[in-house]
Amino acid sequence: MALGTVAGVATQSDGTFVALQVPGAGLRLIAPYDLELVARCARPMTAGRAVTALIAFGVAIAAGGISSQSVLEPGAHWSLVLFASLGAYTAVKSAFLLWLRLTGPRRFRI
């Protein structure tokens, strides 16, 4: 057993192998079915991402407020107002989390 970082994928005549960067041992080729995902490498949040997260939180709160006001004006029940604001907040938050997922680190520890 070894803890390493995925360095790439190598195709040979025997099949496709995952190239692992193992500390002290260099690169090792291992079959994909022999791997077990242990952790995903996560870098600390940068100042730009922290500001973006704060802006996304503000936009989500504003979307929830606007949504609740637009539902409340015609005289909707309180439960509909609550679910409309929660839905708008969740939609903005989900879009932000998807953006983080797509632009985040792509390194795995196996």
In-domain check, residue 19: yes
Domain membership of residue 62 as a residue range: 47-104
- Encode pLDDT of 21-37 as tens digits: 888 878 888 888 777 77
d(CA 36, CA 46): 29
Please indicate, yes or no, whether residues 54 and 81 belong to a single structural domain of this protein.
yes
SS3 3: coil
57 in the same domain as 28: no
Digit-coded pLDDT (tens) for 45-78: 889 889 999 999 999 999 999 999 999 999 889 9
For residue 57, being part of any structural domain is answered with yes
Whether residue 89 is contained in a domain is answered as yes
- When divided into structural domains, the chain yields a total of 2
Longest pairwise C-alpha distance within the chain: 70
18 and 57 share one domain: no
Same domain, 60 and 90: yes
Neighbours of 20 (CB within 10 A): 21
Considering only residues 102 and 71, tell me which one the structure prediction assigns the higher pLDDT.
Answer: 71
Q: Exposed, middle or buried, 89 (CB in 10 Å: 0-12/13-18/19+)? A: buried
Q: 63 and 32 in one domain?
A: no
